[in-house]
Structure 1
Amino acid sequence: MNIFQILMKKKELIPLVVIMTVAASGATSFAAYSLKKSDVIIDRKNNPEPWETVDPNKPQKLITINQQWKSVEELQKVRRATK
């Protein structure tokens, strides 16, 4: 039996199918969005420290309110000393 034939016979299932479709597509799109972010590590062998390449001017959260980035002087000294 075709899924559309079942939905035409039992019309009360249509809202359930719509809600489940929207939820599944939303979960899939958010997962794809999260994979593009810099704090998600997919390939640890080629880029073991991805946080070193994070752009401080680009927001890293889904919603960012009043984000201001200031360089930490002690961290810069440690970076210069270890390189």
Structure 2
Amino acid sequence: MGFFQLLMKKKELIPLVVFTTLAAGGASSFALYSLKKTDVIIDRKRNPEPWETVDPTVPRKLITINQEWKPIEELQEVRSATR
């Protein structure tokens, strides 16, 4: 008996299959979306210090509300002294 034949026999399983498929698709698409972000590190050998290339003006969260980025003076002094 095939999968679709089982669904046609037991029609109460159709919503379960639909919602499970949608949940798996949503989880997969969010995982792929997260991998494209710059703060996710996949290959550390080619880029050992990826935090140096992160743009502070681009939000890193899925939803960002009232985010302002201001540079920390002490950190900027340390960064300029080490370069």
TM-score greater than 0.5 by the shorter chain: yes
Counterpart amino acid of 1:36? K
Alignment pair present for 1:25 and 2:36 = no
Q: CA RMSD in A?
A: 1.0
Alignment of structure 1 residues 43-62 onto 2, 5 Å: 43-62=43-62
- 1:2 CA displacement: 2.3
| Structure 1 residue ranges without an equivalent (≥5) | none
1:36 and 2:36 equivalent?
yes
Percent of paired sites with the same residue: 76
Separation (CA, whole Å) in 2 of partners of 1:43 and 1:81: 28
CA shift, 1:35, in A, is: 0.5
Tell me the residue number matched to 2:79. Answer: 79
Report the secondary structure of 2:70's partner residue. Answer: coil
Which amino acid is the alignment partner of residue 3 of structure 2? I
- Cα distance in 2 for residues equivalent to 1:42 and 1:56: 20
Structure 2 residue matching 1:37: 3-state secondary structure? coil
Number of residues of Structure 1 aligned to a counterpart in Structure 2:
83
CA distance in 1, matches of 2:21, 2:5: 18
Give the distance between the partners of 2:42 and 2:3, measured in 1 at CA: 37
The TM-score normalised by the length of structure 1 is 0.93
Q: For structure 2, which runs of at least 5 residues remain unmatched after alignment? A: none
The CA deviation at 1:3 is: 1.5
1:14: which partner in 2? 14
